[in-house]
Amino acid sequence: MENYDQIKKYGDLKKIISDINEKIKDLNLIKNSLIIFHRKQYGAEIKELTKIISDIETKPIKEFKSQKMKEDIDKLLKLKQKCEDINKVKDFLLFKRMFEKAKGKDPEERFKDAKEK
């Protein structure tokens, strides 16, 4: 116990918890944004986001620090730019109408078409 520095350990844990909270916030933002316009197209990613968020909230901190969890989170965080685009237009009723009438074979193309208009 002589070499154990509880103040340093507390600081490290506090930093990890802050990082966890930030990741959960970002993952929830991505999940909620994808549900709005791309529910069918990104169904697998939405399920994976839900699972990862649940795992982060219920499992020990060491699970969050695992390499697999980091890779999964980083892969899903790549969708953040798309979600920021969605959040810019999600509250505009006119955009929702344009999205419904937009041309395209999938929601991704229709979203892009409506956004350009």
Question: What single string gives the DSSP state of each residue in 52-92?
Answer: HHHHHHHS-HHHHTSHHHHHHHHHHHTTHHHHHHHHHHTT-
* Count of other CB atoms within 10 angstroms of residue 89: 17
Q: In this prediction, what percent of the chain has a pLDDT beyond 70?
A: 96
pTM greater than 0.85 (yes/no): no
Look-up of token digits 């109408």? 97
Q: pLDDT tens digits for 48-105?
A: 888 888 888 888 888 877 888 888 888 888 888 888 877 777 767 777 777 777 776 7
